[in-house]
Chains A and B, each alone.
Chain A
Amino acid sequence: MTLAVFFGCAFIAFGPAFALFVFTVAKDPLRVIILIAGAFFWLLSLLLSSLVWFIAIKASNSQDLTLQRGLLIFGVFFSVLLQEVFRFAYYRLLRKATEGLAAISDDDGSAISVRQMAYGKLCLCSAENSLVLLGFMLHSGSLDGRFDQMSLCVSCAVAGLGFGIMSGAFSMINILSDSLGPGTVGIFGDSQYYFIITALMTLALTLLHTFWGVLFFEGCEKSRWWVIAAVVSLHLLVAGLSLLNPLYEGSLPPVYGITLLMGVWAFFSSGGSLHSLNALCTRRKAEGESS
C-alpha cells in the first residue's frame, strides 16, 4: 500500500513536469540554467512571504485559532502576489539577457573588419564568417530574425516550469516521504483522499505555472496589461479555491477547468493554431504510413 501510494502520487504530481523537462529542457544547457534560476526566484518569493507570515504570527496571540487561520489565509494571498512580482522580475532579467544576446548576433559585418584590423591580416573572411555562423546555427537551432522573440518566449515557458516544479516539490515532497511510512490516512476523521488530492493539485499547479509563464510573457511583450491582471487574478482564484479544501468537489474540478483554459490560451497566444495542430496530426499520420 505505501509503496504503491508513493509511486502513484509521485508520478501523478511530477510525471508531466518530468516529461516536459526531458523533452524540452534537458537537451539545452541554457534552458536548464533558466529552469533552476526560475526555481530560485520562486524560492525567494516563498522566503519573503514566509518571513512576513512568521512575523505576523509571532506578533499575534497564538491561542486564538481563528486569528491564526486568518493570518494563514493572508499569508496565502500575500505569497501569491509576491510570486507574481518575482515572476515579473525574472521576466525582466530574461528579457535583458535575451536583448543582449540578440544585439551581438546582429553585428556580423563590422565585426569581421574590426577583427581583420586587430590581426592585421587579410584573412579568408568569408570562410571564417560562415564557419562562425555555422557554429552559431548548430547551437541555436534557428537563424531567423525572430530568434530573440522565440527564445524569450521559450525562456519564459521554461521559467514558468521552474516555478511550477519548485512549487510542486515544496508542496509534495514531504507528503511523499510520509506516504512511504506506515500509517492510515484519515484515521482521525479527515478525508482518506488526502494524498491523491495533493498529488492532483500539485500537478495542476505545476502546469498552471508553466502556462502562466507563457501568458505573462505575452502580456508584457505586447503591453496587454489585462492579460497580466488576468494571470494574477486567476492565481489568486486558484489559491482561493484551495481554501475550500477539504471540500474537494469545490476545489479540484474548477482548478482543473482553469488549467485547461490556461493551456488552450497559452497555446494560442504562443503562436499555435488549429491548423498547426492539424498539420502535426496529419504529418504524424503520414510519417506513420510511410515508415
Chain B
Amino acid sequence: MRLLQLWAFGFCHLLFMNTSDSEEDSYNERSALVQCESPTIPSYNQDHDMSLPQETDTKRRRPVSSGLDEPGPVERERASTPDGEEEELTLKYGAKHVIMLFIPVTLCMVVVVATIKSVSFYTEKTSQRLIYTPFEEDPNSVGQRLLNSLLNTMVMISVIVVMTIILVVLYKYRCYKFIHGWLILSSLMLLFWFSFMYLGEVFKTYNVAMDYPTLVMIIWNFGVVGMICIHWKGPLRLQQAYLIVISALMALIFIKYLPEWSAWVILGAISIYDLIAVLCPKGPLRMLVETAQERNEPIFPALIYSSAMVWMVGMADSSNPDSGELHFTSCHMLKCLLVGFLTGGVKLGLGDFIFYSVLVGKAATTGGDWNTTLACFVAILIGLCLTLLLLAIFKKALPALPISITFGLVFYFSTDNLVRPFMDSLAAHQYYI
C-alpha cells in the first residue's frame, strides 16, 4: 500500500515546481511595478509596493538564485568604486538574506531531527523499499552491498533525469495544465496522506488516544489551508511554514525508505547531478531557466521557498532616454537604497531543503551521537553561506546542493569515525580541550 502511494506521489513532486496563475494575478493586482526578467523603469510612484517575489533568475528546486547584486559577507576587495556605497549597503543586506535562508533550513532540520529522535517509526528498517531503489542491501557482504547501493543510485538518478527532461519538454511545449495537475496531485498527497501517517506515528509514540472525527477534522483543515497557502494566496509566514513542513515530511520519507548505503551514495550523486544540470549549457534545469527567461515568465514560483518579499520595485533602466529628471533621480535613489531587493529576496528550492534534512536526519539516525548531527548542521549552513557568496559574485542561478552536501558528507564521515572516539575518550576522563 505504501509503495503504491509513494509511486503515485512520484518523484514529480520533487522535480516540478508549481506554477499558479493566481499568483501571477496577484502580481498584477498588487504590484504593477514588478517585472519578471528585464529590469524596466517602474511606473513611477513614490511609495514602496509590497509585492510577491519575482523570479528573475529564479530557479527551481535545486539551484539557488537571487536577482540581487549582492556581494557576499566576506568578499570585499574587488568592489569597484562606482558601486562603492551600494555594495556597502548590499553587504549588510546580503548578510540578512543569508540569515533569512538559515532560519528555515535550520527549522526544517530541527523538525526532522526531533522527529527522528522521538518517533521510532522513521528509523525502523522495513523490508519495504521505494520502487526507485529496487536492489536490496545485504548486510553480510560488503562488496555486494556496495554494488547494490551503486545500482540503486543509478536507478534513482536516471528516474530523476527522465522526470526532469519530461518536465522541460512539457514546459517547452506549454502543457501547463498537465504540470499544474501533476503538482496539485502530488502536493495533495503530501499534505493529506503523509501528514496523516506522520500524525498517526506521533500519536503512537506518545500513546495519545485520538478518535477519527477529530483526526479527520485536523487533517482536513491542515491540508486545505496548506493547499490554499501554497497554490494560491496566503500569509507569507504561513506559506513558509507549510513549505518547511512538507520538506520535512518528504525528508522523513526518504530517511525511512532509502537503504543505508544507498542513501549516502544518492546524496553524493544528486549533488553531482545538480551541478551538471544547472551549470552545463545543455543541462535540463538550465534550459528550463533559459526558456522561462526567454518567455519572460516566472518559473514555477510556488514550490520554491522565498525569503522576503516586501520590498521593491524594478530597477531603473538607465538606457531610457525619455525619463524626466525627477523620475530618473527617484528611480536612481531607489536603486541606491534598495539595490539588491529587486526580486524581494533570495530563493531556495524545496529539494535543497529536503536533501539537507535527509543528510542531517541520517546523521541523527546513526548511533545516538549528537556531535555528528551538530557537525553536519554547521557544515551545511557554512556550505549554504558559501553558495550564497558565489551567487552574489556570479549573479546567476546556481546549484545549492553541491557545496553543502560535500561539506556535510565530509563532516559526517569524519566526525563519526574520528571525532566521536576522541570526544568519547575525553568525556570519559573529563578532559577538556
Contacts and interface: CB of A to CB of B under 8 A. Distances in A.
A246 B428 CA distance: 10
B143 to A, nearest CB: 24
A227 interface: no
A30 B76 contact: no
Nearest to B371: A170
Interface string A141-184: 00000000000000000000000001101110111010000000
A123 B329 CA distance: 6
A278 B365 CA distance: 53
Contact of B433 (A30, A79, A123): A79
A73 to B, nearest CB: 8
Dominant SS among interface residues on chain A: helix
Interface string B262-279: 000000000000000000
A28 B94 CA distance: 12
B76 A103 contact: yes
B79 interface: yes
A76 to B, nearest CB: 5
A85 interface: no
A97 B73 contact: yes
Interface in B354-383: 368-371, 374-375, 378-379, 381-382
Interface residues of B, number: 60
A1 interface: no
Interface string B78-119: 010111111111011101101100100000000000000000
B98 A29 contact: yes
A46 B419 contact: yes
A103 B85 CA distance: 11
Contacts of A131: 333, 336-337
Interface residues of A, number: 76
By CB atoms of chain B within 10 A, which of A54, A93, A239 has the most? A54
Contacts of B122: none
Contacts of B430: 194, 197-198, 201, 242, 245-246
B337 A132 contact: yes
17 contacts: A33-B98, A46-B419, A49-B422, A54-B421, A93-B74, A103-B79, A107-B81, A121-B325, A129-B85, A131-B336, A131-B337, A136-B89, A139-B89, A139-B92, A173-B371, A174-B423, A242-B432
Interface of B: 73-77, 79, 81-89, 91-93, 95-96, 98-99, 102, 318, 325, 328-329, 332-333, 336-337, 368-371, 374-375, 378-379, 381-382, 385, 411, 414-415, 417-419, 421-427, 429-433
Interface pairs A-B: 7 shortest CB-CB: A100-B76, A245-B430, A29-B99, A29-B95, A242-B432, A30-B95, A50-B422
